[in-house]
Amino acid sequence: MNVPHSKNVKPSWYGESVGRYEGDTLIVDTIGFNDKTFIDRYGVPYSDQLHMVERYHIAANGNLEVEVTYDDPKTFTSQWKALFRYRKGRDLPTEVACAESAFDPVTGDLNPIPVAAKPDF
């Protein structure tokens, strides 16, 4: 929170995110995605210049709204936005497979899980 992006961002599944608050809105700025990232459930293409900004805030009705802005000058002719609305409910959140799951989220194929010969720490 409240720090700039690294000078040399190492590409990764989730990219490098930095956050800050503007009033009651949480802004999450992300760059540095690798070629295994999915930016949506449809497999929309992107390049190494993808820049994503998420704005999280609680709407007047108490629900969570997230506006996501996608900017990628190599892939898109202009930036575009998506709005996600999450209704407040009584159920607890459920765990779902993350982007680094062994299953490909588009095809459902099982990817091999890498195994290290020794710990890297």
pLDDT in tens, 15-74: 999 999 999 999 999 999 998 888 887 888 899 999 999 999 999 999 999 999 999 999
Q: Which residues of 21-58 are buried (b: 16+ CB within 10 A; e: fewer)?
A: eeeeeeebbbbbbeeebebeeeeeebeeebbbbbbbee
In this structure, is residue 71 part of a structural domain? yes
Which pLDDT belongs to residue 65? 96
Q: Does a structural domain hold residue 65?
A: yes
Query: Where in the sequence is the domain holding 66, given as residue range(s)?
Result: 16-86
- Asked if residue 102 belongs to a domain, the reply is no
> Looking at per-residue confidence, does 103 or 39 come out higher?
39
In a domain, 103, yes or no: no
10 in a structural domain: no
Express each pLDDT in 6-17 by its tens digit.
999 999 989 999
Residue 73 lies in a domain: yes
More confident site: 85 or 93: 85
Domain presence at residue 96: no
Q: Is there a domain that residue 4 lies in?
A: no
Number of domains in the chain: 1
